[in-house]
Every structure is written in C-alpha cells, then in structure tokens.
A = this chain, B = another copy of it.
C-alpha cells in the first residue's frame, strides 16, 4: 500500500481547509492536521504555487481555483454525464423540478450533475456535495444492491444518523425499507434528508448490469406527484440503454 508522506499531508491540509466556511489561519490548520507549523507552512506554500490553495489579503488560506479547473476534467463514468444531460433536461421540463445525477463513493452519494427548473421555489443540491446512503432515495437503492451484509456493516460504521424526524435510523427499519424499494425498482425520500424535501430515485446501469449512477428528482414534498414515478423510471431506463444496458 504505497503512500507518500508529503502527499498525505497535503491532502490533510486541503481537507482541513475545506472544513471551514471562511479562510483559515496557519495556526488552525497546523493544529487540525497535527503538523508542525513550519511544515504546514512549507507545504501550503507549495500548494499555492500549484494553485490548489490561495491566500486572502489577511494571509488566511482557502482552496484555489486550480481545483475547479481540474474537477471540470474529471471523467464521470463512461461519459455518463454527457449521455444523461439531455434526458435530465427533458425530465426537468416534463415535471418542472430539479433533477439530479449521483454516483456512490464509499458510504455516500455524490452529486455529479444537476439541472434546475426555472421556478422561484426549488430544491438545489450543489454539484460535488455528498449525502449518506440511508437518507436518499438513490442511496437506498444502492444499499439494496450492495446486500444485507454491507447494510449491516454500514449501519455499524455510520450509526444511521438521523437528519430529520423522518430519517429511518434503525437497522431493521432500514432493511425492510431497502428490500421494499429494491422490489419496486424505485425509491422515495420522504423528507428523510431535509425537512420539506421529497425525492424519487432510480438506478442507472451500464452494459454489464452494474449500477453506475442514480437519477433522482427533488421537489418540495407537497408538490411531488405519484405519476412522476413512471417519468423518472423512463428517464433512468433511457440513460441505462444508452450506456448499453
């Protein structure tokens, strides 16, 4: 298991910076990462040269624009994003709500694309943001695919933290729900991640029947319609087909 000290430390520093909303001082960063101040300073200097980190006028550190540039070049699956975009837009136009494309990374779902409707009140997930599997519609479907053993381990690792009063936060309840959503082929999120927000999610498969992503819509719960389920499923299927499923 190869690892390079400076790179590990660089990542710790970047993670530490990303923890804070506002630019952070060297003092805090070296404390958070348990690095000697002069070491942290030196590495941060190199990361600045690289554009990964910037300093504001007060000398506090923040993440640099180079990250945005590189991130825009991240390949998302088999050009998943490219294949999905117009289907997502059509779905958005059909129902008038936000449509999200997500992939799993570890115990979380990460948002890789999103198309928004042109409405005043709408649900918005930032691209690149994450959410635990058990509080999202797509996440529950992914848990189902991963099997009961994984779910058990996942429950142990994460403690099934509740985000709202609706979050399913006991292992038996989660297991039941997960089996149910797998059987029906789609999942709801009934204000489990955020109060007032409801989702409908389906999975997207590639040519060898692997789950590669999830497609979901997010809307204020009172606007969500039963009949959207078939639209979301159709959109998901269309993307899967394009990927050769």
Choose among B7, B50, B93, B118 the residue that contacts A46 (Cβ–Cβ < 8 A).
B7
Q: How far is the CB of A7 from chain B (nearest CB, A)?
A: 4
Q: Which of A10-18, A155-163, A188-196 is near enough to bind chain B? A: A10-18
Q: Which of A60-68, A165-173, A234-242 is near enough to bind chain B? A: A60-68
Bin chain A's interface residue count.
Answer: 35 or more
Binary contact track A1-38/B, C-beta < 8 Å → 1, others 0: 11110111011001001100011000000000000000
Chain B contacts for A64, CB-based, 8 A: 74
A23 to B76, CA, bound (A): 11
Interface pair A2/B45, CB less than 8 Å apart: yes
Choose among B4, B8, B71 the residue that contacts A42 (Cβ–Cβ < 8 A).
B4
Interface pair B110/A69, CB less than 8 Å apart: yes
Interface pair A72/B126, CB less than 8 Å apart: yes
Choose among B7, B17, B68 the residue that contacts A128 (Cβ–Cβ < 8 A).
B68
Interface pair B46/A8, CB less than 8 Å apart: yes
Of chain B, the residue at the smallest CB distance from A1 is B49
> Which 8 pairs, one residue from A and one from B, show the smallest C-beta to C-beta distance?
A72-B128, A71-B71, A4-B46, A2-B45, A18-B73, A7-B46, A67-B71, A63-B74
Q: A199 at the A/B interface (Cβ < 8 Å)?
A: no
Q: In chain A between 72 and 114, which residues have their CB closer than 8 angstroms to a CB of chain B? A: 72-75, 89, 93, 103, 105, 110, 112
Q: How far is the CB of A222 from chain B (nearest CB, A)?
A: 23
Q: A131 at the A/B interface (Cβ < 8 Å)?
A: no
Q: A47 at the A/B interface (Cβ < 8 Å)?
A: yes
Q: Choose among A8, A42, A68, A126 the residue with the greatest number of B CB atoms under 10 Å from its CB.
A: A68
Chain B contacts for A126, CB-based, 8 A: 72
Q: How far is the CB of A87 from chain B (nearest CB, A)?
A: 14
Q: How far is the CB of A20 from chain B (nearest CB, A)?
A: 9
A153 to B221, CA, bound (A): 57
A110 to B17, CA, bound (A): 22
A129 to B70, CA, bound (A): 9
Q: How far is the CB of A57 from chain B (nearest CB, A)?
A: 10
Choose among B47, B73, B118 the residue that contacts A7 (Cβ–Cβ < 8 A).
B47
Interface pair B65/A2, CB less than 8 Å apart: no
